[in-house]
């Protein structure tokens, strides 16, 4: 029983980590007023970049950084479309979600002789080393280092958004860009920064799947994680720690799927697999009415317009 | 205004530019990865239109994405973003299979019932998303994506269930033969039909070697019907009013909640029909275990956007994308380039249709330059400026 509980906590932390990165990306982008549906696509790009770079360099940390850089590069597309060209942000995000998996698989097949998955790549370490706590009941609490990084990033984002001048500017731009503009804040610059950051974080999210949880890129490594992360942003009321908590909840349902799947329960695995998605809908029904989006979220800002 | 300017301000130019940019970017990606772009595009074109059989297959491929495209376009016109087309399509295939396997009536009864089952599945899932939006204010994009995955696993559950699983395979049982909708399906396999087709090679190739079915005709009729409903009926007016301005619609006595649910229901029904037509129209006439999303719904999004969300525009758009997707498979066979390049191309095209300002901006530039040239000419001649056209 106790061992199962520890296992449950371990798996929850493990599976919530990619979601947390994705959700933080969503928070920063939406706080500046840009809806980012493309989180999923950016995570896929991060996933393939991490596995490929880690495989070829042998250093997972370079893979992790490459994932962030590639995610930001894809986010640049979204930023150009939604900030500079005042495009429909949903359509642009959807386009990125189509473009990115194509690009990811194309790259994967190019690098690995037509295979839709990468070979096993070096993984990021666990916090206490490969065999930390081995043999003790707490072995499953030796989580991936990305889990700690995710928590750290959440705290940093909270501090930046609420305790610094720059954070205040981001929030102002997301609530009332015209007012922010009259105070001399460069709305476009702030939004560009936030969307790029969002892509970088989503890229890290992809990396924390392919070089921490599993050790390779596969076609289904990222399957809907970006969208669950977006739901977590709403459930978490567009705050870093709120989103963090929401992701833990979704990670918990994932953990339940795994624990129940391996047990004596006679629930078919396909039905169990629906749990995280059904849970997302239920959670949204229960909580969404009470959360209020940033006022200018999803509205392109055109200088001088009223 | 010159002809070029007028053209650039039209919707067709925006679509054309998006397609051209899509090709250009894919060419760059192909070249960068070490493949010959010209050869790849030749293989693409040849693979889509090289033989009568290929053209028939393009039409078959176009059927589901035309319907999902019309579905997305319809929802978009009413202010909703139906990214759940994928799940509604999957549920359509699933329910059509369940009914088609369990029921064995004469064809004139069987086919409509199987199609209705699919429509019902899609409509139910669509209406659910609409209900969540109308009553809880949850953004339809998130709920419909969750529903996509739920439909995905539901389909796999049915495939693997004891009642429907076909032993030693990864698919469910085939629907009964009375549900098939292939053109001249029985005749082309009869001795008489075979003898007749032997004399006409191209017709034999189209009929005997492909699953050419009535689906595309039905899909075109649906596109026309939806276009009519949107522009010529009270229902369409109300739906679009809700899409344009929710508050104004509510103020004039239109029930916003009812219309949101209704819009998603219709949109889902069209996707469900697309799924059912796939089951009745093409082999293996059943659902198989899904490993990843099959993208019929997501391609519908591309079709709708390139058509600027006009249901009728979806007809040529679906042919375009079907030829890209079908022809794209031979890019891999002939050139060895990953066929995922087609997804990159389609993604790029959609991305550029999201930038509505590009072609009008070009028109502005041309207008400005012409004006500047006119000014120069005027000052050289020393004659006064001609009266401006109004």
C-alpha distances (whole Å) from A136 to each of A2, A6, A7, B383 are: 12, 11, 12, 96
Helix or strand holding residue A166 (H, E): helix A165-175
**Is the pTM for the entire model greater than 0.90?**
no
Residue B173: alpha-carbon gap to chain centroid: 27
Return the residue of A nearest to B161 by Cα.
A268
For residues A20 and A1, which has the higher predicted lDDT (pLDDT)?
A20
pLDDT in tens, B80-90: 989 899 999 99
Q: What is the mean pLDDT of chain B?
A: 89
Q: Is the pLDDT of residue A171 over 80?
A: yes
**Residue with token string 């059912």:** B276
Q: Which residues of A touch B136 (CB under 8 A)?
A: 284-285, 288-289
SS3 B280: helix
Selected residue of B135, B170, B339, B347 to mutate for chain A interface (largest A Cβ count, 10 A): B347
Q: Is the pLDDT of residue A77 over 50?
A: yes
Q: Is the pLDDT of residue B289 over 50?
A: yes
Q: Is the pLDDT of residue B216 over 50?
A: yes
Q: Is the pLDDT of residue B361 over 80?
A: no
Task: Give the per-residue pLDDT at A265.
Answer: 61
pLDDT in tens, A200-226: 999 999 999 999 999 999 988 888 899
Q: Grade residue B73 by pLDDT with cuts at 50, 70 and 90.
A: very high
* C-alpha span between B164 and B228 (Å, rounded): 39
Q: Grade residue A231 by pLDDT with cuts at 50, 70 and 90.
A: confident
Highest mean pLDDT among A127-136, A290-299, B113-122, B373-382: B113-122
pLDDT (mean) for A17-27: 97
Q: Grade residue A115 by pLDDT with cuts at 50, 70 and 90.
A: confident
Q: Of B93, B78, B49, B139, give the one whose Cα is nearest residue B326.
A: B49
Residue A135 distance to chain B (closest CA, Å): 37
The CATH number for B225's domain is 1.10.3470
Q: Which residues of A touch B346 (CB under 8 A)?
A: 98, 102
Residue boundaries of the structural domains of chain A: 10-126+142-290
SS3 A144: strand
Could you tell me if B183 and B177 are in contact, meaning their C-beta atoms sit under 8 angstroms apart?
no
Residue B91 forms part of a structural domain: yes
> Within the 184-223 window of chain A, which residues sit less than 8 Å (CB to CB) from chain B?
219-220, 223
State the ipTM, two decimals: 0.84
Residue A68 distance to chain B (closest CA, Å): 21
C-alpha distances (whole Å) from B83 to each of A96, A152, A236, B148, B290 are: 14, 34, 23, 9, 19
pLDDT (mean) for A279-301: 80
pLDDT (mean) for A256-280: 80
Could you tell me if B339 and B26 are in contact, meaning their C-beta atoms sit under 8 angstroms apart?
no
What is the secondary structure of B117-174 as a DSSP string?
A: HHHHHHHHHHHHHHHHHHHH---HHHHHHHHHHHHHHHHHHHHHSTTTBPTTSSBBPP
**Angle at the Cα of B239 from the Cα atoms of B234 and B242, rounded to 5 degrees:** 125
Residue B209 structural domain: 51-336
* C-alpha span between A182 and B360 (Å, rounded): 29
Q: Is the pLDDT of residue A245 over 70?
A: yes
Number of domains in chain B: 1
Q: Is the pLDDT of residue B58 over 90?
A: yes
Could you tell me if B278 and B293 are in contact, meaning their C-beta atoms sit under 8 angstroms apart?
no
Tell me which architecture the domain covering A10-126+142-290 has in CATH.
Orthogonal Bundle (1.10)
Phi-psi region of A237 (alpha: psi -120 to 50; beta: other; left: phi over 0): left
Residue A112 has which token pair? Answer: 């690995």
% pLDDT > 70, chain B? 95
Phi-psi region of A175 (alpha: psi -120 to 50; beta: other; left: phi over 0): alpha
pLDDT (mean) for A247-264: 82
The answer to whether the Cβ–Cβ distance between B154 and A270 falls below 8 Å is yes
Residue B303 forms part of a structural domain: yes
Residue B189 has which token pair? Answer: 């396999």
Residue A222 distance to chain B (closest CA, Å): 11
DSSP A288: G
C-alpha distances (whole Å) from B40 to each of A99, A260, B209, B336, B340 are: 19, 48, 26, 9, 12
pLDDT (mean) for B236-246: 90
Task: Give the per-residue pLDDT at B390.
Answer: 44
Task: Give the per-residue pLDDT at B291.
Answer: 83
Task: Give the per-residue pLDDT at A306.
Answer: 61
Task: Taking the CA atoms of B196, B200, B203 and B205 in sequence, report the sign of the dihedral they define.
Answer: positive
Residue B339 distance to chain A (closest CA, Å): 8
For residues B101 and B359, which has the higher predicted lDDT (pLDDT)?
B101
Q: Which residues of A touch B347 (CB under 8 A)?
A: 95-96, 98-100, 102-103
pLDDT (mean) for A274-290: 82
Residue B372 forms part of a structural domain: no
Could you tell me if A72 and A101 are in contact, meaning their C-beta atoms sit under 8 angstroms apart?
no
Residue B262 has which token pair? Answer: 């209704």
Residue B116 forms part of a structural domain: yes
Q: Is the pLDDT of residue A143 over 70?
A: yes
* From A147-161, B169-183, B351-365, the region with the lowest mean pLDDT: B351-365
Residue B322 has which token pair? Answer: 């079907």
Q: Is the pLDDT of residue B375 over 80?
A: no
pLDDT (mean) for A97-114: 90
For residues B358 and B169, which has the higher predicted lDDT (pLDDT)?
B169
Q: Determine contact: A293 vs chain B, CB below 8 A.
A: no
pLDDT (mean) for B146-169: 92
* From A253-257, B66-70, B115-119, B124-128, the region with the lowest mean pLDDT: A253-257
What is the secondary structure of B70-133 as a DSSP string?
A: HHHHHHHHTT---TTHHHHHHHHHHHHHHHHHH----HHHHHHHHHHHHHHHHHHHHHHHHHHH
Q: What is the mean pLDDT of chain A?
A: 89
Task: Give the per-residue pLDDT at B174.
Answer: 92
The answer to whether the Cβ–Cβ distance between A100 and B347 falls below 8 Å is yes
Residue B94 has which token pair? Answer: 């699933």
pLDDT (mean) for B291-309: 87
* From A123-132, A232-241, B304-313, B334-343, the region with the lowest mean pLDDT: A123-132
Could you tell me if B10 and B330 are in contact, meaning their C-beta atoms sit under 8 angstroms apart?
no
Q: Burial, A167: exposed, middle or buried (Cβ in 10 Å; 0-12, 13-18, 19+)?
A: middle
> Within the 309-338 window of chain B, which residues sit less than 8 Å (CB to CB) from chain A?
336, 338
Q: Determine contact: B123 vs chain A, CB below 8 A.
A: no
Q: Of A140, A124, A120, A121, give the one whose Cα is nearest residue A132.
A: A140
Task: Give the per-residue pLDDT at A263.
Answer: 59
> Within the 10-69 window of chain A, which residues sit less than 8 Å (CB to CB) from chain B?
37
* C-alpha span between A255 and A249 (Å, rounded): 10
């Amino acid at each position: 029983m106790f061992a199962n509980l520890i296992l449950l906590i371990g798996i929850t932390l493990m599976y919530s980590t990619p979601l947390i990165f994705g959700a933080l990306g969503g928070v920063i982008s939406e706080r500046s007023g840009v809806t980012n549906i493309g989180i999923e696509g950016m995570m896929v790009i991060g996933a393939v970049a991490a596995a490929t770079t880690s495989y070829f360099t042998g250093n997972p940390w370079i893979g992790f950084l490459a994932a962030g850089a590639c995610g930001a590069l894809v986010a640049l597309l979204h930023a150009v479309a939604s900030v500079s060209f005042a495009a429909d942000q949903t359509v642009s995000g959807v386009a990125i979600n189509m473009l990115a998996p194509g690009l990811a698989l194309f790259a994967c097949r190019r690098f690995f002789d037509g295979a839709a998955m990468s070979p096993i790549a070096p993984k990021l370490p666990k916090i206490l080393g490969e065999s930390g706590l081995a043999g003790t009941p707490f072995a499953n609490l030796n989580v991936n280092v990305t889990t700690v990084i995710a928590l750290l990033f959440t705290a940093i984002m909270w501090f930046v958004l609420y305790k610094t001048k720059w954070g205040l500017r981001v929030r102002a731009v997301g609530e009332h860009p015209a007012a922010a503009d009259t105070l001399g804040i460069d709305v476009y610059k702030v939004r560009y920064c936030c969307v790029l950051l969002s892509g970088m974080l989503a890229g890290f999210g992809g990396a924390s799947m392919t070089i921490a949880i599993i050790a390779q890129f596969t076609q289904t490594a990222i399957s809907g994680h970006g969208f669950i992360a977006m739901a977590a942003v709403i459930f978490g009321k567009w705050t870093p720690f709120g989103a963090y908590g929401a992701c833990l909840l979704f990670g918990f349902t994932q953990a339940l799927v795994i624990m129940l799947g391996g047990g004596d329960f006679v629930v078919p695995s396909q039905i169990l697999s629906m749990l995280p998605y059904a849970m997302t809908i239920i959670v949204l029904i229960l909580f969404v009415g009470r959360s209020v989006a940033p006022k200018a979220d999803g509205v392109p800002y055109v200088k001088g317009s009223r | 205004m010159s002809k070029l300017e007028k053209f650039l301000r039209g919707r067709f130019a925006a679509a054309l530019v998006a397609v051209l940019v899509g090709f250009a970017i894919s060419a760059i990606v192909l070249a960068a990865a070490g493949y010959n772009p010209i050869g790849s595009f030749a293989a693409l074109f040849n693979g889509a239109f090289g033989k009568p059989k290929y053209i028939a297959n393009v039409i078959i491929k176009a059927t589901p994405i035309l319907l999902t495209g019309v579905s997305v376009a319809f929802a978009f016109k009413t202010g909703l973003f139906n990214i759940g087309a994928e799940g509604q399509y999957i549920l359509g295939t699933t329910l059509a299979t369940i009914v088609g396997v369990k029921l064995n009536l004469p064809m004139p009864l069987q086919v409509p019932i199987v199609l209705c089952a699919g429509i019902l599945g899609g409509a139910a899932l669509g209406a659910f998303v609409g209900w969540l939006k109308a009553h809880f204010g949850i953004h339809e994009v998130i709920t419909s994506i969750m529903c996509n995955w739920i439909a995905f696993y539901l389909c796999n559950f049915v495939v693997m269930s004891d009642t429907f699983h076909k032993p030693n395979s990864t698919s469910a049982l085939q629907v009964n033969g009375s549900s098939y909708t292939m053109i001249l399906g029985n005749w082309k396999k009869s001795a008489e039909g075979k003898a007749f087709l032997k004399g006409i090679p191209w017709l034999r190739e189209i009929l005997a070697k492909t699953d050419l079915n009535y689906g595309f005709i039905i899909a075109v009729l649906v596109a026309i019907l939806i276009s009519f409903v949107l522009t010529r009926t009270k229902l369409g007016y109300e739906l679009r009013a809700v899409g344009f301005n929710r508050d104004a619609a509510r103020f004039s006595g239109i029930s916003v909640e009812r219309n949101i649910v209704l819009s998603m229901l219709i949109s889902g029904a069209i996707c469900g029909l697309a799924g059912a037509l796939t089951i009745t129209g093409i082999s293996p006439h059943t659902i198989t275990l899904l490993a990843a999303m099959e993208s019929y719904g997501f391609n519908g999004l591309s079709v709708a956007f390139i058509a600027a969300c006009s249901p009728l525009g979806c007809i040529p758009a679906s042919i375009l994308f079907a030829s890209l997707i079908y022809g794209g498979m031979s890019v891999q066979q002939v050139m060895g380039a990953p066929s995922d390049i087609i997804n990159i191309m389609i993604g790029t095209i959609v991305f550029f249709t999201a930038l509505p300002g590009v072609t009008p901006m070009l028109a502005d530039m041309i207008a400005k330059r012409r004006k500047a040239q006119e000014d120069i000419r005027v000052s050289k001649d020393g004659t006064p400026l001609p009266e401006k056209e109004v």
